[in-house]
Amino acid sequence: MKQLSGHDSVYLYAETPSTPGHLGLLYIYDQSTAEKGTVRFKSILQHIDEHLDISHVFRSRLMRMPLDVDHPYWVDDENFDLEYHVRHLALPKPGDWRQFCILAARLHSRPLDMSRPLWEMYVIEGLDNIPSMPKGSFAIYTKIHHCAVDGAAAIDLAGLFHDKSPEPDREIIERQWKPQPKPKLGTLLVNTLVNNTRHNFETGFDLINMLPALGKKLLVKTLRQDMEPKETIVRPETRFNRDHVSPHRVFGGVDFPLEDIRSIKRAVNGATVNDVLLALCGGALHHYLQDKDELPYHSLRAIVPVRQNKRDRKGKQTMAVMTPPLHTQVVDPLERLEAIQWDTSTSAALEEAQGAKDMTDITRHMPSFTMALGIGMATHSHLSRKTLAGIGNCVMTNVPGPQWPLYMRGAKLVYVSALAPLVEGLTLMFNAVSYDGRISVSFQSDRDILPDPQFMEDCWERSLDELRCAATQQCDEAGAKVIHKVRIPKTAKRKPNASKSGS
């Protein structure tokens, strides 16, 4: 028996019928590398069965306390059925990328059954007409609830499901799994009393520990306002910050060599892979919104989770959040990258990230009933929408994966991408995942808000081409004309949608 932490419980309490809280991972395999050039569904099912012991979440379900007086517990599912969790599908001909994306979006839209272990896998055959993918490839779409794992942990967990060579990495020892009996109600009630008492004290200590840091930040902020011109930070309203989220999703993505990103970042001193991804995101949103005549005068902002060097009390690496501007109002791609690099490297950005980390610490120790009630009220009153819309316009994550090939029953893994949950007020998620020398960027949104995923993919491709061309200074004659045509001083003022020259 293991109890859900306060931080992980947030994803459970915030879930609604139209905003399920699960993550998704998409894998595409070349089965020509397998023995006899094919992998049967029965063989995949056996492979998954042999690897279920790598984490307790695969055979555990959540048991919630009455009125959420304490955080839920993971308990063994006495009726665990592997064939319920692993399903077999096939794309109709021609089996192209758009069909695959539509199917992935539909599968991602469906909430998980909360009475069972919170994961599902779909083996999808018929991927016969996807560029750069071998004909006859198959895919596995896995969704698992965010309260069980975060994005980085999901990638790590998925790596344990694979082998580093066509041959199995480990010897499989067959064990007869027996579920543990459910905990007694009396034991849980005692735990609830102890936990709530401890959480009240720990929340108080967290608030006390935050006061010196908050006082220092307020003092520094006051001094800056006295010494520097006052600058108002504006996060413009966009179609991606709407009140209502439908239950229908849209999915798309692009992928390119990781070396392309590394070569681009070398063009700007101090730039990182994250900076380049943010610059590409800014360029893609610039083109997309300008085409819709919706490009704001002020820059859009991204919510970016970052890992810190600090460790929490249990030795785990802490997470924080940055909200850098994407400089979508800047047309020149290299100037946009330079501006983003400056913003993400300043001490002010790091201070904002630390503040987000402090708030995360409070959620770890807040009593369950208080947290569940507060999140429920915020969700139904659309307060969460107003809060998130005030923070940023989209989310951009970057999870590094293994830089060596992986295999499933001898079939080589050739593509990896991720899907994230949506919330009200923040309906555009970009997820970057690197694997074996390539990096994929996928996006999820509400189907009513982003009805043209193919065009968003084109905008990302165009943004990459422009930035790569500007960074390498090796454009052909047509590319050079485009760069000179759109180049304007970063400080130049222009009205939104005043010209289409940058599109």
* pLDDT tens digits along 246-262: 999 999 999 999 999 99
CA distances 423 to 12, 246, 427, Å, are 12, 10, 6
The structure tokens 């596995």 sit at 140
Q: Taking the model in full, what pTM does it have?
A: 0.81
Task: Report d(CA 39, CA 28) in Å as an integer.
Answer: 13
**What percent of the chain clears pLDDT 90, i.e. is strictly above it?**
48
- Section 180-185 average pLDDT: 75
Instruction: State phi, psi for 59 to the nearest 5 degrees.
Output: -115, 10
- Section 359-363 average pLDDT: 48
Task: Report d(CA 72, CA 194) in Å as an integer.
Answer: 15
Other C-beta atoms lying within 10 Å of the C-beta of residue 286: 28
Whether 144 shows a pLDDT value over 80: the answer reads yes
- Section 46-69 average pLDDT: 87
Give the angle 60-2-113 at the CA atoms, nearest 5°.
30
**pLDDT for position 14:** 82
**pLDDT for position 490:** 37
CA distances 99 to 68, 131, 254, 256, 433, Å, are 41, 13, 15, 21, 22
CATH fold group of domain 2-189: Chloramphenicol Acetyltransferase (3.30.559)
Among the residue ranges 80-89, 102-111, 367-376, the one predicted with the least confidence is 367-376
Whether 229 shows a pLDDT value over 80: the answer reads no
Other C-beta atoms lying within 10 Å of the C-beta of residue 143: 24
Q: What is the mean pLDDT of the chain?
A: 79
The structure tokens 């249990």 sit at 314
Task: Report d(CA 271, CA 465) in Å as an integer.
Answer: 18
**pLDDT for position 364:** 52
- Top-confidence range, 8-12, 49-53, 319-323: 49-53
Amino acid at 239: R
**pLDDT for position 492:** 33
